[in-house]
Amino acid sequence: MATTKRTANKAKAAKPAAKAAKPAAKAAKPAAKAARPAAKAAKAQPAARPKAAPAKPARAKAAAPWDFWIDRGGTFTDIVGRDPQGRLHTRKFLSENPEAYADAAVAGIRDLLGLSAGAPMPPRSIGAVKMGTTVATNALLERKGERTLLMTTKGFRDALAIGYQARPHIFAKNIVKPEQLYSEVVEIDERILADGVVEKAASAADIRAALEAAKAKGFEAVAIVFMHAYRFPAHEKLAADIARDIGFAQVSVSHEVSPLIKLVGRGDTTVVDAYLSPILKRYVDRVAKELDVERSGARLMFMMSSGGLTAADLFAGKDAILSGPAGGVVALAETGRSAGMKRLIGFDMGGTSTDVAHFDGEFERAFETEVAGVRMRAPMMLIHTVAAGGGSILHFDGARFRVGPDSAGADPGPKCYRRGGPLAVTDANVMLGKLIPDFFPAIFGPDRNQPLDADAVRAAFAVLASEVGDGRTPEQVADGFVRIAVANMAEAIKKISVARGYDVTRYALNCFGGAGGQHACLVADALGMKTVLIHPYSSLLSAYGMGLADIRAQRQQGVETPLDQRGLAAIGREGKRLAAQTVREVAGQGVARGDIVTHVRAHVRYAGTDTALVVAAGTLKAMQTAFEKAHKARFGFIDRSKALVLEAVSVESVGGGARFVERARAETTARPPKPARRTRIFSQGQWRDAAVFTRDQLDIGHRVKGPALLIEPHQTIMIEEGWRATITRKNHVVLDRHVALPRREAIGTHADPVMLEIFNNLYMSIAEQMGLRLQNTAYSVNIKERLDFSCAVFDQRRRPRRQRAAHAGASGLDGSLGRDDHPAQRGRDPARRRLCAERALQRRHASARHHRHQSGFR
């Protein structure tokens, strides 16, 4: 029932030519040493082939169109083009460069096709264009979506604004309420009860009058959210029909967008869809116009947050938030599988942020999440993002160093980009010698032909070192910022691994993104990991993943019934109904029905809780076993005294993705070559002599011990002291720690501005993980939804060091105990200080007993 049979397809590896992966754009004009690795990498890397690619005569193949796989990121846009012969070509463009082009994705396509700006597209020259885009994410972050009307049940106009009453900044004196995406609310006097009884029928005349008034005010987008419509949608269907009849350009209806229980989550998702879908449609239309799809034959497809491709006309706002990063998760799984690694942590460090993900044989998805302060209930790849990218701005506030969260982006970019930008993480690596301008594309300056500006970086760090004023050299200042960035990224990985019950030391770090190779060894050391995988296309892996991804269609339906024979029948009934829709959608995009795989999954939880875990549909015993295994891993316990509840059924149909074969080659018997040059780098507190190798120098089987720099076409890999790089039989770079990580020495009492920030993050991580465990296991709505609790780290004097903020009484804090002017801190009488501390401890113990009782624990 859970899976239909897939027809096996043969994959034929193409023989790529040396020119298959020329670095950067033609305009980049990189140094010759940086260009050579591209040819070598391309020779060994077979191209991805479509599922059904029958052999054709040479003449027919030459006339075939190009395919393009694109990731439009915040700083760079990565393009992988597959020519008619199956060879892969790569380009990397700044996402924002208004002096040079209007859209980076289109500019990259034109460059690979050899077209000048304004030249018409050749007829039938383009096949599939598969894209991930940040357009929706940026619109959400900047609150630049469509002006949206919310239509809801009378009496619930403030339900989404109230939300779950969670207070993220409990001690803030200036309360700033989150900005709502909708501009106005219209209430309709209607009500269907939870059992389907119509208490108040909706009036078509009232609905029409309200919508016509809104249309007259200029609204073009409407989100319709009625009570209990996830199961009884008659009133929503009536309102939607009227809205479309009146002429609203965007009508988002909750029973179509997110047919799941909970008004707030369902309503928020529907509003997001109405708010972002028009922005996406305008972007899609603009790209289609510039590509002249009728003439060129381009078939536009976009990556959804769930990790599947869909046709441009089906691409909706709720599915676009993680459009780009989802492609990276697909690629990390496929390339890791090819390398023979089953447990993987994805580490995607770009220019603006770092995305991390966990993979252990199956994609992990979140069905309820929050992005940019907006709650959503839609299937998304489980990706955690931290604001620590190459463009993250470096700050010194007089006491401690901080990295981000603000970013220099692509314009102006870091200081070294020659646009007057601030110091950023990329500049720190230039300062440390880990980025060498001679091996970086010369695409900067007014004419886009100058290298990175190392002199400006050195001058800026010299000024910053004088501001710090504790005798640090500029290199030590830069190294301190890198250590903080590494700590931030390591904490992000803990959130998707350690906090979810996974032993991260048993995993390999699949490193990608333009800046990932510079920090991979340090991040692995911070987590106790010993293996790092770097694919030949690692710096463009999210774009590469667009080509490897399947076309996917998903549907969900809330059920809310005990997981017994009735629940099993509900799975069969809803699974069959939803599968008909998803298979039809995938088949409508050109995939043969015999090549479509359909998965049916059950969302199961314990009765009395609201945290559902997703398991494959099957027999009752199989689902119970899978649920208990997942619950044990996630929460640390199993409670067989509680009944299981089937909360929802989800169905996913998959097919049509490219499949690739990476050919294993024999290892060379030749000795490793001499380095292209030698250099000095500053790493982990001291200067070190390092060898510099270009990728084309190394053959299969060669090994390089750190410290060393390995220059690839689109990135620099830093091999740290104690690490070793091996070129595997499939042309991957695998880094392994061949020297045990030395024990760290105890930290002294000196207030080091670098360690202050690192320990600040570590303490906060402890408090956050404590809070996450309490939130997941609690029964109390106050704890689970309102987040009305505190978790804190105290020192030996019972003073709070870091706290996950909630109400002050939960941990015995009054909001000022940690301040210097609190009586417990400023009093000179030791007895007075002890009394204050003892009373605080008593309050904490009493509050802890109260919360254990409230949470159902004794």
Q: How many residues does the chain have?
A: 858
Within the chain, what is the greatest distance between any pair of CA atoms? 93
Cis peptide before 707 (omega within 30 of 0): yes
How high is the pLDDT of residue 129?
A: 92
448 Cα distance to chain centroid: 31
> By the 8 A CB rule, do 495 and 384 touch?
yes
How high is the pLDDT of residue 325?
A: 84
The answer to pTM > 0.75 is no
How high is the pLDDT of residue 800?
A: 63
How high is the pLDDT of residue 390?
A: 86
Q: Any alpha helices (H) in 610-749, and if so which ranges?
A: 620-635
Question: Number of helices and strands (H, E) in the chain?
Answer: 22, 36
Q: What angle do CA 603, 607, 613 make, to 5 degrees?
A: 25
- Average pLDDT across each block of 10 residues of the chain; the chain has 858 residues. List them in order: 37 35 37 37 37 36 77 84 89 82 89 87 90 83 89 93 73 73 94 92 94 94 94 94 94 91 89 92 89 88 88 86 85 89 88 84 78 77 81 86 82 86 92 90 81 92 90 91 89 78 84 87 90 90 87 88 92 93 89 90 87 89 92 81 91 79 85 90 90 91 91 88 92 91 56 55 69 71 70 74 46 34 39 47 45 37
How high is the pLDDT of residue 312?
A: 87
> Which pairing describes strands 508-512 and 531-534: parallel, antiparallel, or unpaired?
parallel
- Cα→Cα distances 374→39, 140, 315, 356, 442, Å: 45, 9, 19, 20, 40
Q: Residue 786 in 3-state DSSP?
A: coil
How high is the pLDDT of residue 245?
A: 94
Nearest CA-CA partner of 472 in 48, 755, 764 = 755
Q: Residue 291 in 3-state DSSP?
A: helix
Dihedral (CA of 122, 90, 382, 263) sign:
negative
> Which pairing describes strands 250-253 and 88-94: parallel, antiparallel, or unpaired?
unpaired
How high is the pLDDT of residue 712?
A: 87
How high is the pLDDT of residue 25?
A: 37
Q: How far apart are CA 85 and CA 66, in angstroms?
A: 9
Nearest CA-CA partner of 70 in 134, 6, 124, 159 = 134
Dihedral (CA of 825, 827, 830, 835) sign:
negative
How high is the pLDDT of residue 802?
A: 56
How high is the pLDDT of residue 803?
A: 54
